[in-house]
A and B are shown apart, each in its own frame.
Chain A
Amino acid sequence: MKIKQISVFLENKRGRLLEATEALAKSGINIRALSIADTSEFGILRLIVADSEQAKHILEKNNFAVRENDVLAVAIPDVPGGLASVLKILNDKGLNVEYIYAFVQRSGEKAIVVLKVENLDLGIEALVERGVVLLTSKDIEQL
């Protein structure tokens, strides 16, 4: 139920984001979802890819500071209020959402978003209980 996310430390140096994405592109790694968290001085690039092990390896080889961790990906009905209903489930359980970002979708009637919940296991439990569809790593590979 959990999927792998890769975080990359980007010091605020022009071109570093480009270098990271280019390094992945060269190795044929497709970025499924991406977000950049930014402060005035540095940023963190968050990525979901099919093969996170390989992506991590490539980025490390290119001298990036990389960390792999778990997040949740949920399919949300593409209707008004779809995302809000998911967030409400977590909120009702008192579970904090640290950040959230959307997938790059080719088509489909469902939107996919990545959620970083404070306590992943409780998050999964709450969502599954309410019938929310969680994506597995397999799903990500097949996207």
Chain B
Amino acid sequence: MYWNEEIETIDRSNLKKLQLKRLQGTVRILYEKVPFYQNKFKELGITPEDIKSLDDVRKLPFTTREDLRDNYPYGLLAVSRDKIVRLHTSSGTTGKPKAIFFSKNDINQSAELIARCLIMTGVTKDDVLQNMMTYGLFTGALVMHYGAEKVGILVIPAGPGNTERQIALMQDFGSTCLHLTPSYALYLSEVMESKGIKPKRDLSLKRAYLGAEPYSEETRKKLESMFEIDIYNSYGLSEMNGPGVAFECICKNGMHIWEDNFLVEILDPSSDEPVKEGQEGELVLTTLCREGMPLLRYRTKDITKVISGDCPCGRTHRRISRILGRVDDMFIVRGVNIFPQQIERVLMSIKGVAQNYQILLESYDKLSVKVEIEQDFFDGSIEHLLNLKTKITEKLKSEILVTPKVELVEPGTLPISEGKLNRVIDKRTL
């Protein structure tokens, strides 16, 4: 089932033609209307006429989070204020937030993308979506809400929190789809378990859409078995309309990114050069259909890779992997870019390894990883511990291409990490 079969299964060469036409249009508008981009074009010595092919996107300037802040609040508008109907913001850790504006057409377009996403996972008009994201300045809930309404399904605007009421809503209205963050999903499953609620027996859930936070494939599997539903990855960011930028189809093997709306580049964050197809890099997006606030080459800081090959679902829009990390978390050892999430993925796939680990950087050519062993793994045998250590070392080496020094530590002795960054201790000085 498709929402918009013609565009979702568009032939790649036609898609590229469409992308080029839209890119040229976007560039022209920004050149004419937005002083920030006018100045950038002037600095680079380019005009819209220089964009003759899709590869020419590389001549265009990047847009960063800082640019959005510097031009807060109205600096990046490409239409007059009266054309704008909605504001969303994206909070930063420090200072001013980023303001994102939607015209009426932008609202429609983002709803169109969500409609494609929902239908892609098998939704029909009979479904009931319980939207458990935050309604407000954050794009997560509203964009999904409008898209679901466009499909014609019943939306319960529950918002997050008040878990008992959430469960009651599911029971009373027979919610079939949930939209929530992975951490809330984990919490919800614990509450259900403690209340003796068996999803399959007591609820009508079929699927859930998880987004807004990174989470691992292991967590997905765990949640799928706890709720006995299908869980689909959703990727989006406020700067690019919010959710619906990329979404998984029923094949659950990567997220189709809507290339008629976004021009996708995956760049090596240290050189800004495109990576080879299939390799990891920073996702850089150019809006192709946005009216209110088009952005050129926006640096998402999210690390992903293109999953090559055709998808059995028939959609021709390429798939990207779940977000593998953030550029800001990246560190370099022996000239190799390494993301903490790569290390986490490897560690979590090895039996005997507990949840906690720590990455220590003491010099530019040495990487140490402290790994807590699982209580049950310890059976008194030195040999088993040494084997585990060797296994961790070898698996890490094949993933990150640097041989780490692996140290096994007692369960429960490493500090419990609240954010990913706490896992990395960088003692190096410049």
Contact = CB atoms under 8 A, between A and B. Distances in A.
Interface of A: 5, 7, 9-13, 16, 37, 39, 41-42, 44, 46, 63-67, 69
Interface string B372-391: 01010011101001100100
A68 B389 CA distance: 22
Given A7-B379, A9-B378, A42-B385, 8 more contacts: A11-B408, A11-B409, A11-B413, A16-B410, A63-B411, A64-B410, A65-B410, A69-B380
Given A9-B373, A9-B385, A67-B378, A41 B407 contact: yes
Contact of A42 (B375, B380, B408, B411): B408
B372 to A, nearest CB: 9
Contacts of B409: 11, 13
Given A9-B373, A9-B385, A63 B410 contact: yes
A65 B375 contact: yes
Contact of A7 (B380, B410, B411): B380
Given A9-B373, A65-B373, A37 B410 contact: no
A37 B382 contact: yes
Contact of B382 (A12, A16, A39, A65): A39
Chain B CB within 10 Å, residue with most, of A5, A7, A9, A16: A9
Chain B CB within 10 Å, residue with most, of A7, A11, A44, A63: A11
Say what secondary structure dominates the interface of chain B.
mixed
Interface in B404-422: 407-413
Contacts of B386: 39
Contacts of A42: 385, 407-408
Contacts of A5: 380
Contacts of A13: 409
A7 B410 CA distance: 13
A61 to B, nearest CB: 11
B412 to A, nearest CB: 5
Sorted nearest first, the 8 A-B pairs with minimum C-beta distance are A7-B380, A65-B378, A67-B380, A11-B409, A63-B412, A9-B378, A11-B410, A67-B379
Contacts of B375: 65
A41 B409 CA distance: 10
Contacts of A16: 410
Nearest to A16: B410
B213 to A, nearest CB: 30
Interface in B86-107: none
Contacts of B407: 11-12, 41-42
Contacts of B408: 11, 41-42
Contacts of B413: 11, 63
Interface in B386-403: 386, 389
A13 B410 CA distance: 10
Contacts of B411: 63, 65
A25 to B, nearest CB: 20
B403 to A, nearest CB: 15
A44 B382 contact: yes
B391 to A, nearest CB: 15
Contacts of B412: 63
Nearest to B374: A65
Contacts of A39: 382, 385-386
Contact of A46 (B379, B380, B389): B380
A16 B410 CA distance: 10
Nearest to B383: A98
Contacts of A46: 380
A95 B260 CA distance: 71
Interface in B343-394: 373, 375, 378-380, 382, 385-386, 389
A38 to B, nearest CB: 9
B221 to A, nearest CB: 26
A37 B375 CA distance: 19
Contacts of A10: 410
A103 B412 CA distance: 31
A9 to B, nearest CB: 5
A5 B407 CA distance: 26
Nearest to B386: A39
A63 B409 CA distance: 12
Contacts of B382: 37, 39, 44
Contacts of B373: 9, 65
Nearest to B409: A11
A69 B379 contact: yes
Contacts of A7: 378-380
Contacts of A67: 378-380
Looking at A5, A10, A16, A67, which has the most chain B CB atoms within 10 Å of its CB? A67
Contacts of A11: 407-410, 413
A41 B370 CA distance: 11
A41 B408 CA distance: 8
A41 B390 CA distance: 13
A3 to B, nearest CB: 14
Nearest to B407: A41
A66 B412 CA distance: 13
Contacts of B379: 7, 67, 69
6 contacts: A12-B407, A39-B386, A66-B378, A67-B379, A67-B380, A69-B380
